[in-house]
Each structure stands twice: as C-alpha cells, then as structure tokens.
Amino acid sequence: SQALDIINSYKPNQVETLADLLPIELINSAYELTDTVTLRKRKLTLESMAWLLVGMAIYNDKSMADIVNMLDIVDRTGKPFVAPSALTQRRKNLGELAAKALFDCTQSHWFKQANLPNWNGLTLLGVDGVLWRTEDSKNNAEAFAKPTNRDGKETQYPQVRMVCQMELSSHLITGSAFDCYTVNEMKLAEQLIETTPDNSLTL
C-alpha cells in the first residue's frame, strides 16, 4: 500500500497537476543540455511536446489524440493543437538526445522529491531486465538486430534488451540502459553504476 500511495501521489488526476509534475524549468534544463533550441519557432511549443511525452507514458492506455485533448495542449496562439500527424513528426524532430536528457532530469528530480523509506539510512534499489520488440524499421534493425529462428531466418521485429534500476517500494526508475538483444543483462547493469544515487544499496 505504501508503494501505491507514492505512485498515486505522482500520477496526475487533473490536467493542472502536470506542470507541477514536470516544471517548465526542468524541461528547459534538459533542452539546454542538448542544445535543443532550433524548434522553438515551431507552432507547438517544446514545453507542450515534453508534457505530451510524459502524458503518453502515464496514460499509456489512451491514444495520442485523447492525451492531447485531456492535457489541453495548445499552440502558441492558445488554440487547441489537434493535428496527430504533426504531433508525430514533432516528436521525431525533438530527437532522442533531448528525450534522454529529459528522462535524466525528471528521474533525478522526482527521486529527490519523493519521501522514500530506507534501510539503515540507505535507499533500497533493484535491477530488472526485459526483452521487447520494437518497430520494424531500417534504423532499429541496424541498431538492435533481429533474432533468427531455427532455419536461420530473421524474425519480423528487431528486439531490444533493457535493464532498469528502480527504488523498490515505489518502482521510481533511477536509471536505465538498453542495447541489442544479444547483450547480457549484467553488462547493461554495469552501465548503471555511474548514475546510481549516493547512500543507496542495489540488490
């Protein structure tokens, strides 16, 4: 129940709470780290794009159009932004570096803000891995590769191995690493050592 209480305190039940969950200052910090400034002249603000990405993760059972309407995302003129195709392209233009920087900033911010339990003064963390299929595209196939079956033929989708480090009571993620499905989970876990929070114990 304690873990659920912590999670629920971070899941916005009202549209107005999303800006508190992801402050504009935090978004700007992530964009500055990756020099993401050329998109500011576009119709959809970068702040709205970041809120959309977070909203997609929180409300993963809803379509992009539903999330836009629910979060009341608007363009620079204050009018509702309701062009799904433009949102998809805008997300691609944002780039993976800006999204990664935003993830790093938010996980650090939320972890510090959370009132988490500890053991002998140490925050307890855990590491878990997952294997998942990703979109069948040329870039994904080159980056992650496709498994082969018994006949030596490639499967339909590239596969990604991902390892996450999280606080055990709330499951707040403190770090993640992913690579081709052939990479061992322990190798990926080693990449998380550098970003592991101080005064913590990873089980």
Q: How far is CA 128 from the centre of its chain?
A: 16
Does residue 170 share a domain with residue 122?
yes
Does residue 81 share a domain with residue 56?
yes
Does residue 77 share a domain with residue 24?
yes
Residue 74 backbone dihedrals phi, psi, to 5 degrees: -125, 165
Does residue 146 share a domain with residue 53?
no
Does residue 146 share a domain with residue 63?
no
The amino acid at residue 159 is Q
Residue appearing with tokens 């305190």: 9
Domain membership of residue 188 (yes or no) is: yes
Final residue of a structural domain among 57, 72, 106: 106
- Percentage of residues of the chain with pLDDT beyond 90: 20
Does residue 17 share a domain with residue 68?
yes
Domain membership of residue 175 (yes or no) is: yes
- Confidence class for position 88, pLDDT limits 50, 70, 90: low
Q: Which two tokens stand for residue 26?
A: 């935090």
Domain membership of residue 83 (yes or no) is: yes
Cβ distance 98 to 36 under 8 Å? yes
- The angle at the Cα of 145, spanning 140 to 151, to the nearest 5 degrees, equals 135
- Confidence class for position 47, pLDDT limits 50, 70, 90: low
Does residue 122 share a domain with residue 165?
yes
Does residue 64 share a domain with residue 24?
yes
Does residue 180 share a domain with residue 102?
no
Domain membership of residue 55 (yes or no) is: yes
Residue 200 backbone dihedrals phi, psi, to 5 degrees: -135, 160
List the beta bridge partners of residue 200: 123
Final residue of a structural domain among 106, 135, 150: 106
Cβ distance 146 to 159 under 8 Å? yes
Does residue 186 share a domain with residue 96?
no
Task: Domain of residue 130: give its range.
Answer: 117-202
Does residue 101 share a domain with residue 19?
yes
Domain membership of residue 111 (yes or no) is: no
- Confidence class for position 37, pLDDT limits 50, 70, 90: very low
How far lies 121's CA from each of 111, 170, 179, in Å? 15, 17, 33
Element (H, E) at 92: helix 84-94
Q: Which two tokens stand for residue 104?
A: 């790093």
Q: Report, as an integer, the average pLDDT of 63-90.
A: 62
Residue appearing with tokens 């570096």: 97
pLDDT tens digits, 128-153: 999 999 888 888 888 898 888 888 78
Q: Answer whether residue 170 shows pLDDT above 70.
A: yes
Domain membership of residue 112 (yes or no) is: no
Question: Is the four-CA dihedral 133, 82, 85, 25 of positive or negative sign?
Answer: negative
Looking only at the bridges linking them, the beta strands covering 123-133 and 159-167 are: antiparallel
Q: How many domains does the chain have?
A: 2
Residue appearing with tokens 């114990």: 201
Final residue of a structural domain among 106, 137, 172: 106
168: left (phi over 0), alpha (psi -120 to 50) or beta: alpha
Cβ distance 51 to 18 under 8 Å? yes
Domain membership of residue 36 (yes or no) is: yes
Most confident residue range from 60-69, 80-89, 179-188 = 179-188
